[in-house]
Structure 1
């Protein structure tokens, strides 16, 4: 049964009452709800949006690559899903206001926000140009804050759900990922703060710490000079598929969980970081010496 918080929220007297969007041909847990997934033109964001559509949600797709975003939207429309798309850089607040306006104009409401868009890196701190560090940090922090800030009045009306996509690397840090780890840790703490400040709104604030996941072949991260390079190698046996991760994200939203850590490795990091932090640091330092390519 769907969480009652999605249905029992009182509508403020000043709120415009609108009809819920018609469910897609598929019926499911999210039928009648509207979701926005940032960075959903590709990768995990695209598969999360697809799973939401399959479960009946109307979905707003977002990305910076207009061509790729259009291809994803057309693919979803061909499958019969209720979708719209909006090209927007989520580190630009005005663009985020336009993004939220697209959702409201198309569907009249917003129930679910998933802040997935971000930039990662493969560079050691000492080598990074300051502007590159800022670019990575901004994409993770302001790329989360700005969409939420613009969407907050509408999520308050629906007592909606907000999920910040973080990483297991935020749990204990990761060499060659200083800005990315800092940004992902920041959004986890932001969620905790908002949970306290906005408890009266009934909005769900959660964080999903994603582990190693299969990537699109064209996936790129930034090097020390800000140039796009392939993501560091990860053994396939350690990786979950994008669809598996998307399904875990949806389960997290359904249960309105505060935190979900994906993968056995993520759970191990939590355990070691909490109870044996010195052991955790020793393991990382040892792998830097013996498996440096793992980080590079």
Structure 2
């Protein structure tokens, strides 16, 4: 018997799809890593609720995945608005009747030094990374508890040691790791998984923008292509993290190096960052 909406293939029997019957809500999935993560979950049989703030792009992603034979729904919602997040969860229930997996991926990044940032811009970046994860989770929690489901916060390797020109972004991403740890303790015994994925440098959509000190959208700072993973590679790691119900996944050798140095030799870590800032200013500015 085929799952509704799946194309008939040799792997489409419901007994051979590991995530068949599971419903995943992925915020910020109209584009980029979120879109590819949605595709990865769909391939393993999950139904996916897509989310974003750009109606045309969100609908284009929904149509593309539906055309591939996958079970998808979409909800236009700003995840820093709690009422909108209630509607996002309601979309999952209305279309698929349950919710098993939440991936809090939506966020805004920056390209600005703290001394130059307008307070409202700092708050906008911080809110997107903190409340943009807290509000969807708060709305979804009763259903995730019922399903003994999984929650994954998408963080960054820059949260492990800080990064010049990324103060609000780093602060928000670091907060997610502590939030996950606290929830693990508070909800121990419920069967719900709480994890964090620290993403490294990843290939971006060509029109990817971050905020400058005044809140204007600008291109992301330079990243050498040889340091970047593809969006599909990152999505595959997120998928594995959720399936294995890991507490923390740090993507890339650089991320793991940062984690070790920050833990054991923090002054060396700071020296490396400050040296790179002097010699590679376009990496930060």
TM range (shorter): over 0.9
CA-to-aligned-CA distance 1:113-151 (integer Å, 9 cap, x gap): 000000000000000000000000000000000000000
Which residue is 2:162 aligned to?
A: 173
Give the structure-1-normalised TM-score.
0.92
Give the Cα–Cα distance (whole angstroms) in 1 for the partners of residues 45 and 172 of structure 2. 32
Q: 1:91, 1:138 within 8 Å by CA — same for their partners in 2?
A: yes
Which residue is 1:130 aligned to?
A: 119
Give the Cα–Cα distance (whole angstroms) in 2 for the partners of residues 172 and 100 of structure 1. 34
Which residue is 1:82 aligned to?
A: 71
What is the CA RMSD across the aligned residues, in angstroms?
1.0
* Count of matched residue positions in the alignment of Structure 1 and Structure 2: 276
Q: 2:6 aligns with which of 13, 24, 34?
A: 24
Give the Cα–Cα distance (whole angstroms) in 2 for the partners of residues 28 and 164 of structure 1. 24
**Residue 242 of structure 1: how far off its partner (Å):** 0.2
Q: 1:159, 1:204 within 8 Å by CA — same for their partners in 2?
A: yes
Runs of 4+ off more than 4 Å = none
After TM superposition, the structure 1 = structure 2 runs for residues 244-263 of structure 1, keeping only pairs within 5 Å, are 244-263=233-252
Aligned pair 1:221/2:210, yes or no?
yes
Aligned pair 1:45/2:27, yes or no?
no
Which residue is 2:181 aligned to?
A: 192
- 3-state SS in 1 of match to 2:189: helix
**Residue 28 of structure 1: how far off its partner (Å):** 2.0
Which residue is 2:130 aligned to?
A: 141
Q: 1:56 aligns with which of 36, 45, 52?
A: 45
**Residue 285 of structure 1: how far off its partner (Å):** 1.0
Q: 2:5, 2:70 within 8 Å by CA — same for their partners in 1?
A: no
Which residue is 2:284 aligned to?
A: 295
Give the Cα–Cα distance (whole angstroms) in 2 for the partners of residues 90 and 35 of structure 1. 16
**Residue 293 of structure 1: how far off its partner (Å):** 1.2
Q: Which segment is superposed worse, 133-142 or 281-290? A: 281-290
- 3-state SS in 1 of match to 2:176: helix
Give the Cα–Cα distance (whole angstroms) in 1 for the partners of residues 249 and 4 of structure 2. 30
- 3-state SS in 2 of match to 1:138: helix
Aligned pair 1:35/2:17, yes or no?
no
CA-to-aligned-CA distance 1:236-292 (integer Å, 9 cap, x gap): 000000000000000000110000000000000001001110000011111111111
Aligned pair 1:159/2:148, yes or no?
yes
Which residue is 1:11 aligned to?
A: none
Give the Cα–Cα distance (whole angstroms) in 2 for the partners of residues 290 and 240 of structure 1. 23
**Residue 24 of structure 1: how far off its partner (Å):** 3.4
Q: 1:71 aligns with which of 60, 73, 83?
A: 60
Give the Cα–Cα distance (whole angstroms) in 1 for the partners of residues 165 and 123 of structure 2. 15
